[in-house]
Amino acid sequence: EVFSLNQRVGERTVPDGYRSAPIFRDGEVVPDTGGGVCQVASTLYNMALLANLQVLERSHHSRPVWYCPTGRDAAVYWGAKDLKFKNSLPHPILLLGEVRGSHLWAACVGHADDQYKVELIRSNLARLGNKTVTRQDPTQPEGYRKVENPGAAGARATLSWKVYKDGRLVKSGKLHDDYYAPVNRVVIVGAKPKSPPQTLTGPAAPKPA
């Protein structure tokens, strides 16, 4: 069978109990209903790889995430991105999940004959610096300065794996190359000229006789 996170969990809506949390959209962090579900997707993605399951669909985030190494995250969004993997093993499997304190735990339980040792290898790691972009606001006075977007560094990562059965290498190769675009730091500065000082004038002094 094929497991689809979107199909299994369904659309993230307020009536179904989902709350608003941060997501990435167009390079910015914005609130949206169901934000945070990608942490579930990333955990299940790593579980599927470590269980030697066949991953059919997976997308990485547009920016690196704090809870998962680059190259090992999985992004989902209703109607656009999904996480799908297939039970490619000879026997049935049972998927388990649990929240333990501040950690999410997932496991794939199956037949003893389907036990594999899987190594996930990240390579070609790179941190991509971002730039600072200054924009002028004619409605704010000179000297005004505000950071509109703190920005974020980007990254590159390649994920490969080695699969062993009874100590023998049975499968290896590259899984994917991921590119996380850097987000520029945006600073707003005031461009409204200061008003010139006004000179107060009084009545002219009388001329001496």
- Residue-level pLDDT, tens digit, the chain, 209 residues: 999 999 999 999 899 888 888 888 766 777 888 788 999 999 999 999 999 999 999 999 988 998 999 999 999 999 899 999 999 999 999 999 999 998 999 999 999 999 999 999 999 999 999 899 899 888 888 888 999 888 888 999 999 999 999 999 999 999 999 999 898 888 999 888 877 666 666 666 666 65
Residue 209's pLDDT is 59
Residue 71's pLDDT is 96
Residue 168's pLDDT is 97
Residue 200's pLDDT is 62
pTM for the whole structure: 0.82
For tokens 């000879």, name the residue: 90
What's the half-sphere exposure (Cβ side, CA atoms, 13 Å) at 32? 16
**Three-class secondary structure of residue 167 per DSSP:** coil
φ, ψ at 152 (rounded to 5°): -160, 150
- Asked whether the beta carbons of 52 and 89 are under 8 A apart, the reply is yes
